[in-house]
Structure 1
């Protein structure tokens, strides 16, 4: 798409006039992206909220600023252990709040760096980037990207190990509260398994589900239906919808897809596959489990990334 100029945003974005941006998405999870190689663009929460507003702004699930790691306190700390993480994904939720990271956002971020000429990444090459959820290694595979999301862990490990659930979730459209399992992918998720697709479609996610107990930093909530059969040709399959904290329902959530696969695989027990496909309203992503450094199990997320427009705030 040719470059576009937006209509005037409200006074909350005063001082951002002339700021160049791109709009991109990964399986429908969409972002406004800003290149800030000098680290001079100060973004306040109200700026982000207005830009991401779907009626008065550009519209997005979140905003990503591309900034050298050396120019952020979080990035400088990361460089001490991972000096190759030159670029930092400064990610904000659509309401302006900071977030640890975003799996779909990582893919779109790296694609944006390529499109802006800030990096060169040939097919098959890898890149390490910084996020508030730690360093992430991304491999380009044609028009797709595969991200080592790092290790997963139970948020409430004692209860999860003993009972296979650690909380309950209530949502409009569900008749009773459902058992759930809370998984950390560097950011918090709570996964609920439903019996059938009709039940998934009937669940209303206009408002945030109620989670008890609620993880200390809040949580994203995934509602998941396992396929029947669950596994074909060695690959598991699930369908998911998600309510993201600070955003609402989104078309896709990369870390949520990983957490959903973790939970369903945990519930399936021994013999569950290492590879999964996760269908979301915005498309499909792949999730794989593999042995990482120090014997910790890591999760890989793969899928597409697309830049759909470029413009200037007016």
Structure 2
């Protein structure tokens, strides 16, 4: 028998889905019976040796995990927990595209129901996320966003430098937290964005303690049309590499560009990524904090059984 690194998951059914090209392998494991170590996840997500994906998402009952039980203390309706792993097997707090695909998976598998305009509470390592069914897919309240270094950002507008292949010099950047850590670089020209070679990780200085995703954002000209601002973005995700899309990264790129644009910048944004278009909206929630909402499609494309 040929050993493929997936022996512990042999015979397990899977689904494959994506949100604007950010693709995931999804497993149903309500009671937490599956053994998901980092090496197994990495093989499943390998595009040559496995199914292939930017990450793996396990649908598990929140009550089966310590992180999930903490979520239930906050909102008992968050029955399902999105157990998300990066393509290298490392555990991640949250994925904005992934949570939309996760909800589509739950609905298609008959594990949850959601009417048009209705909202479903989902447990994640970044807390409870509320997902609403909308005409173009799903909209997710991603929760509050924040500047990682607010004092330095207020003084200089940036708090880091980023080096990347095909950029002539290190570029100033702003660190943003949207449930995951992000470092956002503003580019001035389309050629800079198109010619970036992101086959290796950009270097962030100072290096974030837990690492970060790095987004390269290009404001459109004009930036705002009919009250909606628009940017284009490419991203290098830690533990994955360059992906066609990153939901939390789109939120971070919009938040950073909005911060740089000043108090007159709008609350509604469109973010063009290689895999499609995402909507980002900033609003004041009931907790008095400014939240960010991410909207976009979610598609299931395949199903099978792991060998």
TM-score band by shorter chain is over 0.9
In the alignment, the residues of structure 2 paired with residue 10 and residue 218 of structure 1 have an alpha-carbon distance, to the nearest angstrom, of 33
Secondary structure of 2:5's aligned partner:
helix
In the alignment, the residues of structure 1 paired with residue 2 and residue 265 of structure 2 have an alpha-carbon distance, to the nearest angstrom, of 50
Secondary structure of 1:15's aligned partner:
helix
In the alignment, the residues of structure 2 paired with residue 86 and residue 188 of structure 1 have an alpha-carbon distance, to the nearest angstrom, of 26
In the alignment, the residues of structure 1 paired with residue 257 and residue 302 of structure 2 have an alpha-carbon distance, to the nearest angstrom, of 36
> Which portions of structure 1, spanning 4 or more consecutive aligned residues, are displaced by more than 6 angstroms?
none
Alignment of 1:220-231 (within 5 A): 220-231=213-224
Deviation at 1:184, TM superposition (A): 0.3
1:36 counterpart = 2:29: yes
Deviation at 1:294, TM superposition (A): 2.6
What stretches of structure 1 of length at least 5 have no aligned partner?
A: 1-7
Secondary structure of 2:11's aligned partner:
coil
Counterpart of 2:269 in structure 1 is 276
1:91 counterpart = 2:62: no
1:177-221 deviation digits (Å, cap 9, x = unpaired): 000000001110000000011110111100000000122110000
Counterpart of 1:4 in structure 2 is none
Q: Is the 8 A contact 2:4 2:49 kept in 1?
A: no
In the alignment, the residues of structure 1 paired with residue 84 and residue 284 of structure 2 have an alpha-carbon distance, to the nearest angstrom, of 28
Further displaced range: 251-260 or 39-48: 39-48
Secondary structure of 2:235's aligned partner:
strand
Counterpart of 1:306 in structure 2 is 299
Alignment of 1:92-111 (within 5 A): 92-111=85-104
In the alignment, the residues of structure 1 paired with residue 98 and residue 218 of structure 2 have an alpha-carbon distance, to the nearest angstrom, of 24
Equivalent residue in structure 2 for 1:239, among 199, 217, 232: 232
Counterpart of 2:176 in structure 1 is 183
1:70 counterpart = 2:63: yes
Equivalent residue in structure 1 for 2:196, among 181, 194, 203: 203
What TM-score, normalized by structure 1, do the two folds share?
0.96
| Equivalent residues, number | 307
Q: Is the 8 A contact 1:166 1:179 kept in 2?
A: yes
Counterpart of 2:285 in structure 1 is 292
1:150 counterpart = 2:143: yes
From the superposition, tell whether residues 198 and 11 of structure 1 become closer, same or farther in structure 2 (CA, over 3 Å). Answer: same
Q: Is the 8 A contact 1:9 1:56 kept in 2?
A: no
From the superposition, tell whether residues 169 and 20 of structure 1 become closer, same or farther in structure 2 (CA, over 3 Å). Answer: same
Q: Is the 8 A contact 1:155 1:215 kept in 2?
A: no
Equivalent residue in structure 1 for 2:111, among 93, 99, 118: 118
1:96-118 deviation digits (Å, cap 9, x = unpaired): 00000000001000000001000
Q: Is the 8 A contact 1:26 1:104 kept in 2?
A: yes
In the alignment, the residues of structure 2 paired with residue 166 and residue 293 of structure 1 have an alpha-carbon distance, to the nearest angstrom, of 30
In the alignment, the residues of structure 1 paired with residue 93 and residue 267 of structure 2 have an alpha-carbon distance, to the nearest angstrom, of 25
